[in-house]
Amino acid sequence: MILGAHVSTAGGLHNAIKNGTDLECDTIQIFLRNPHQWQGKPPTSEIVKKFITARSEVGLGEVIVHDIHLSNLASPKIDVLKKSRQAFREQMEFAQQLGLRYIVTHLGAHLGEGETFGLQQLADSFDFLFENADAPDIIPLLETTAGQGTNLGYCFEHIRDVIGMSKYAERFGVCLDTCHVFAAGYDMRTESDCEATFEQFDNIIGLNRLKAFHLNDAKSEYQSRVDRHEHIGEGNIGITAFTYILNDPRFAETPLIIETPEMKTMHEVNLSTLRGLKT
């Protein structure tokens, strides 16, 4: 299995590598800038070099980028849409320079304009990005969401539709967040629930698109459409789903990233819980 965590980049991007290896991660996820701000520091060649060197020294595997929280690539508001596209473009170009492949992003919110409008807006945003960003190797991973408010992405059909509406279907992957799909109404509490959920994913999107997992238990209830992460095995999903994913040979090469709470103190515990589930 390829197991890892979302880790901090405090003190410099290259520090994320050490934070990952300290936790014995095979893979990590990072933000390239403060996720609550539109603007990031422009990447300098020194930052890029330090990161690439640190990563190659330890031979760390996949480093996944997560888009900023402010992003809404489906927004009907032109200023927010422009800022979201600009920020995503900068992150794509930065990730390309760092030698990375994947940027996870949520599908955004239609803010009352309707789901069809939002999905089309999103597909247009990605087409714009693919045509304008200097980042030919970057694959956006559309993340399944819990579906709070007018957020898109709470059903597999939304993801299928965005990919279908884009002129560049081959450029997309998907990230499945266990907490989000559970809150959205895909049960994972028993082995047969897991089987059914992945069968639906395969029928609607295709498992070949699934490039990463976010492994989070859920503080939120099943079908609540509320996004609250919990420590592995301590939430409403429970341990069975994680045992299932970790031991399914279809996911043996897929990065599994935890985004559980209290990362400074609890990442070690959650990773050790997950390692213990591998049979």
Closer by beta carbon to Zn ion, 50 or else 101: 101
Residue with tokens 């893979």: 27
243, two tokens? 């045992």
Least Å distance, CB 165 to Zn ion, is 23
Query: According to CB under 5 A, which residues from 27 to 56 bind Zn ion?
Result: none
Instruction: Kindly calculate the radius of gyration of the chain based on its CA atoms and give it in whole angstroms.
Output: 18
| Interface residue with Zn ion, options 90, 124, 227, 230 (CB under 5 A) | 227
Residue nearest Zn ion by beta-carbon distance: 214
Stretch binding Zn ion (CB under 5 A), from 36-44, 115-123, 234-242, 251-259: 251-259
Closer by beta carbon to Zn ion, 47 or else 152: 152
Closer by beta carbon to Zn ion, 227 or else 230: 227
Q: Exposed/middle/buried for 231, CB within 10 Å: 0-12, 13-18, 19+?
A: middle
Stretch binding Zn ion (CB under 5 A), from 48-56, 114-122, 182-190, 257-265: 257-265
Query: According to CB under 5 A, which residues from 162 to 221 bind Zn ion?
Result: 177, 214
Tell me how many degrees the CA angle 109-146-274 measures, rounded to the nearest 5.
Answer: 135
Task: Give whole-number Cα distances, 137 to 50, 111, 170, 208, in Å.
Answer: 21, 31, 11, 18
Give residue 8's identity as a one-letter amino acid code. S
Closer by beta carbon to Zn ion, 54 or else 232: 232
Among 73, 95, 68, which residue's Cα sits nearest to residue 84? 73
Binding site for Zn ion (CB under 5 A): 177, 214, 227, 259
